[in-house]
A and B are shown apart, each in its own frame.
Chain A
């Protein structure tokens, strides 16, 4: 089977590069074709990358506490640009100060993300969920 393509990057003006490299190595090892856009990626750059590579999922990282500003309206923008069905994952230090996980998850799901991971999110679990979600999309589409 063809490896599913996923887009990886750190959104906004955030230049935390270490976690991004770890995610790249990890998801590549898990059998995904990773297109890593690196740090300081805008919403449109994520979408541009997905459009050209035919990616099935976009994995957004945000570590610097301003993710709320950067991620607002992400799904709308995807819909506008022809990617209404793409899987959107987000993870990292998504807010400052608030520790209510449920509230954070609700906030980001409101932006159109399918899965939301906090700072203690488990990578193995994320990879399993991603594989599962991609399969479900495949079945729905065929």
Chain B
């Protein structure tokens, strides 16, 4: 038996769990001895962290192994550059998201002086500089290298573009903290995200942890501290490797106050015979998207803006014409009062509607689209993005789903057809599980040393919902 502590440092709460793991038991979850949280101490992340170590043990500070991840202080902020939006820029975006990044901005083609000003106003942690296949486009990359050279800020630059430009980039950007890695798209149909992903991780560990005030936490931890979404991404890979029956294909939605993250496993190939995949960069087997305008608090306004029709359709069923105005008023309140909770049955209903609209909206954006093209040889079905129809299993995580808030009244029905008349490749119904104690990030950290128990623990802790 080993006792260890896992900690997830979020922007509001620093949460931790004390687990007891039996390394010999192959198909058993860990024992959860204690679960606790403290408000994140943004001025000194270590203070809250060490207080939590004390709180978890009860009488003294915990002394065994500790694993941690962090999304405090903006997480890992990346700005991505590419050439064509559907090719290298899409690839740069996918790579950064799979590394757990929060994408601040993306730029295609040549950078302009205005773009540079924008970057200087809000410099990212890392500038992911991609573009061109190996031996491919040089002129746009040369232009962008000389543009970056003029930046007043000094973000870390990770070059992951056309290999032929390496010397040029190294010569001109030597005054930046610069890292070179393999091209993320060496050939048009051969994505290569892994080296850049590793480099993003290494830059976070070597150069960013200090600045984010995580050095004392890192000194106490038994493994590297990673951005929380990267750890969750790795955890889903581990979950798949463990080959648990029925858990190989799934979607995970993390509904937060400011963003809604969607992770999906599989669906990159058509699920039916005769369907053609559209051109462009293939989607990755495991992928993550982040919706910065869908959330329960800071971004609740975005739900009103982009999900209005969906919400109105649900409200109409109540027969009360005032419902939309009331819902909007509720959203306006919680957008400013982050910590407010619903305190009437009507507000409970609006809260549920807000959560449902954000989750379904994020899923609809994450999923691919199906389309028919008529040719002289008959109709051809085209798939763009991921076909998640066979996925069915949906894990919902985030504050709204915690059990002390009562059972969620969710409506996860999505539109079968989008605004452009294309089929949305999502299942009609989900087999839904909720993470009632927000354990996903904790198990993700536990998986660093105890992959098997972490996966079993997660599956056992999820609550199946009857919606």
Contact = CB atoms under 8 A, between A and B. Distances in A.
B279 A37 contact: yes
A14 interface: yes
A31 interface: no
A52 B187 CA distance: 9
A53 B136 contact: yes
Contact of B276 (A33, A40, A53, A82): A40
B377 interface: yes
B138 interface: yes
Interface in B125-181: 131-133, 135-138, 140, 162
A19 B36 CA distance: 66
A5 interface: yes
Interface in A43-67: 45, 48-49, 51-55, 64-66
B106 to A, nearest CB: 16
Nearest to A7: B188
A2 B135 contact: yes
Contacts of B375: 13-15, 64
Secondary structure call for the A interface: loop
Contacts of A55: 136
A38 B277 CA distance: 12
Interface in B214-246: none
A52 B280 contact: no
Contacts of B132: 52-54
Interface in A1-59: 2, 5, 13-15, 33, 35, 37-38, 40-42, 45, 48-49, 51-55
B32 interface: no
B376 A66 contact: yes
Contact of B188 (A14, A53, A82): A53
Contacts of B373: 13, 40
Contacts of A2: 135
B76 interface: no
Contacts of A65: 376
B374 A52 contact: no
Given A15-B380, A49-B188, A64-B376, A54 B136 contact: yes
A106 to B, nearest CB: 25
Interface stretch (B80-88, B306-314, B456-464): B80-88
A62 B86 CA distance: 24
Contacts of B187: 35
A48 B86 contact: yes
A33 B135 contact: yes
B196 interface: no
Contacts of B138: 54
B279 A51 contact: no
24 contacts: A2-B135, A5-B135, A13-B373, A13-B375, A14-B375, A33-B135, A37-B279, A40-B276, A40-B279, A40-B373, A45-B279, A48-B87, A48-B280, A49-B188, A51-B83, A52-B87, A52-B131, A52-B132, A52-B136, A52-B188, A54-B132, A54-B162, A64-B377, A65-B376
6 nearest A-B pairs in the assembled complex, by CB-CB distance: A13-B375, A53-B136, A54-B136, A54-B137, A48-B84, A45-B279
